[in-house]
Amino acid sequence: MKSKIIAKRYAEGFLDYATKALGMETIVEECKNLKLILTSNVELLDFFENYGILLNEKYAVIDEVFKEFSKELRSFLGFLLEKDRFVNILGVCDYIRTTYAHGGTTDALLKTTYPLDLELIQAIKDRAENKLKKRINLHIEYDANLLGGVQLTVGNLVIDGSVRKRLDQLKEKLDMLRV
């Protein structure tokens, strides 16, 4: 879990640094290719994690092996070496690829019991985008089990404003009073 948090922080830092110069698509593509190279050449990954090799030698290998990549990515790899965080590079690549592969947008599912007005759907989408600070591709599904209200699912986040949820909460409170 800790390594995922570290990977996310370094990935977001790299994105802040490189997005203006490269664009999101280029960064995602470079991370995908970098991961492919590192996973297919385990010796190369071991080389960068070897404490017996001087940093200058590692920088030279970065400049030679990854010369086709952007200077921003090569600079980031050097930064990870300096901070002794090169072990997190695969996690950084995974995070960037999975989070930003859709151009910074993410899919969301809006469940409702009945058709909503387009204005209301747009208002829900706008509020969710502002809260999550991401663009959303909204998909709508009808679910009679909700009994009313809406439920929005974005990744593993569920925002439940359904009548079913409120009734379940009320039932839990009443059950606690009986005990």
Write the DSSP string, 73-118.
HHHHHHHHHHTT-GGGHHHHHHHHHHHHTTTTEEEEEEEESS---H
Same domain, 129 and 149: yes
**pLDDT tens for each residue of 130-174:** 887 778 888 898 888 878 888 888 877 788 877 888 888 888 888
Same domain, 10 and 88: yes
Same domain, 114 and 130: yes
Q: Is the dihedral of CA 128, 136, 73, 45 positive or negative?
A: positive
The model's pTM is 0.58
Domain that holds residue 165: 105-178
**pLDDT tens for each residue of 60-93:** 999 999 999 999 999 999 999 999 999 999 999 9
Q: What is the CATH number of the domain that holds 45?
A: 1.10.520
Residue with tokens 């009734």: 167
Same domain, 33 and 109: no
Number of domains forming the structure of the chain: 2
